[in-house]
Structure 1
Amino acid sequence: MARSTIEISEKAGVRYLHFSSAWIQGAMRIQRPNALELPYTREMMAGLLLRAPPWPRQALLIGLGAGSLAKFIYHRLPATRITVVEIDPQVEMIARLHFKLPDDPLRLRVVIADGAEYMLQGDSHHDYILVDGFDRDARAGVLDTLPFYQACRARLSENGLLAVNLLGREHAFEASAERIQRAFDGRAMIFPSCDSGNTIAFAAAGEHVDASHDELIHRANQCLQETGLNLLPTVARLQQEHYLANDRLRF
């Protein structure tokens, strides 16, 4: 993806990262720099509902942005090693200077590379792959293709999960969702849109996701207690939108 001018703004105690003036790419509440400020980033961590702790051991992030997901995992899931693939070295510099990205290469490694090429050419395996990469026009490009999603599947561990930010309905995410379903032989689920309108897709290749409503509530409460992240609203949306067949979430 082509590089773009990066802008930073602040309003009401929140610092924002922009790839263009009309689109917020990341955010950090200055008094809580390691919390997940934007609703969609909290939703992308809903994999913590789908697997029992301790999970994940290895996380791979495609797209750094303001570093929100990387910082949350680093500070709240201390047993997790993190690799971030970011195409633009300027984004990494901004994240370190203005968004408090930790400097700890033993646990948080930033690789400057094209995310699609990294996935297609490598062979490492990860428990949690989080894809949130867009250009200044909110286009995912090759990060939203069948070969890329197939490569993500090949790079998941036995209990691995993929989470993809599909933005929202105005971006015709249905075609993206179909590509993910094809890559994972139907073992994918598009979660109900969160407050920001972003739609997050989850997919599994090895061990099935199979959790009862009570298990989801238990994991959400455990996550809230241990990390401060409240995923109870996600469980409520899943139930309200009838995602729990026979009181279980399965895919």
Structure 2
Amino acid sequence: MPGCRHHRQRPMILVFIRHKNPAKLLALPLYAVHLIRRLDRAALVALAFIAMLVALLTQTAIHVLAPNTRVLIGKVIVVDPGHGGIDPGAHDREGTTEKEIVLDIARRLFGLLGKAKGIPIQTRHGDWSLDELYPHESTRHRQDLAARVHIANRINADAMVCIHVNKSPHASARGPVTFYNQASQDSRRLASCIQRRLSELQPRGAGGIVKGDFYILRNSKVPTVIAEVGFISNPEEKKLLLTPSYRQDIAEAILAGLADFFEGQGVSPAITN
């Protein structure tokens, strides 16, 4: 209507706990516009830690974790499922969207990190974008990206993992690829750790680690990677990406890669570009 401004749902940063009933989420909303810019790392960590204590009592069983996850205790990890809201990311003509796939993987990784006594901070827990949280950039897309980076930088996270799905005009393209910031040795090392673990799921088509000139990588002040976990354009891989058990495998592979990183591993595998 003329003179009326459409009110969109305010995006939130949520610390959530997976309950036995997936439809019931115990959530602690942190309205980023009002809080993220004011709360320091200690305050956010304290809030997340309280949620994790409850999670230990209420969360359903998760696959057996790698034995080295002790190194994740107390580590603040930003889990960033890409896209959301009006931005579906990669998609096919049958209604499958990247934003839905990566959100589910991120939720699984969030739960695994909590079980490992890490402190995960997830950038979105629903189908929304974050552009309203950081209006200083010129376009909606850049505002969304800036908000995600701001969260990681503001709390001085120990690492940030952005989860995405790839797409190619060539249906034969397949396998995970992990992008890193070439100006950050820690970003490169984190990429090598996560890529090695993801490659164990797809040894035939796995790519390498790739230098990425992306907004999030350029502007993040913490070790950050963009993990493209598979190709939605590859029929066989798309079928896997739509399988809950495979999404769980991806989440566990990223968790293991994070543990490897904090153990000091990262042997710099072959670089694709």
TM-score (normalizing by structure 2): 0.30
Larger strand proportion of the pair: 1
Higher relative contact order (CA 8 A, sep 6+): 2
Larger helix proportion of the pair: 2
TM-score (normalizing by structure 1): 0.32
**Structure with max Cα Rg:** 2
